[in-house]
């Protein structure tokens, strides 16, 4: 699990079929002091996180594939919660 801030969303005209119906968010990894650190990643979201929100994301590929419901999906990152500030 990783703390991140949503900095936008991604739009894709062509994507893996398992991504249909999922929002693709762009998330900036944060350190424990909540400063930007590390890579920017694309994460799937069904809970409604928006730009500027602090979230918890997970990189468990197997868990992401179970969450999305497709064992062959290339999904890696997914939002698991919005941090109440």
pLDDT score, position 67 = 86
Distance CA 31, CA 11 (A): 27
- Closest among 1, 38, 6, 39 to 24, alpha carbons compared: 6
Q: Mean pLDDT, to the nearest integer, of 37-59?
A: 95
Domain of 9, CATH number, reads 2.40.50.220
Q: Which domain holds residue 72?
A: 2-82
Residue 54 has pLDDT above 80, yes or no: yes
For residue 63, name the pLDDT band (cuts at 50, 70, 90): confident
Mean pLDDT of the chain: 93
Domain total of the chain: 1
Question: Rounded to two decimals, what is the model's pTM?
Answer: 0.86
- Closest among 60, 65, 58 to 81, alpha carbons compared: 58
Q: What is the pLDDT of residues 32-44, one digit of tens each?
A: 999 999 989 999 9
């Amino acid at each position: 699990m990783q703390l991140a801030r949503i900095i936008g969303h991604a739009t894709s005209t062509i994507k893996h079929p398992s991504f249909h119906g999922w929002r693709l968010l762009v998330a900036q990894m944060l350190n424990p002091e909540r400063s930007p650190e590390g890579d920017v990643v694309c994460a799937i979201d069904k809970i409604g996180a928006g730009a500027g929100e602090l979230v918890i994301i997970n990189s468990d590929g197997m868990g992401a594939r179970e969450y999305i419901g497709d064992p062959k999906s290339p999904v890696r990152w997914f939002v698991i919660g919005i941090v109440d500030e």
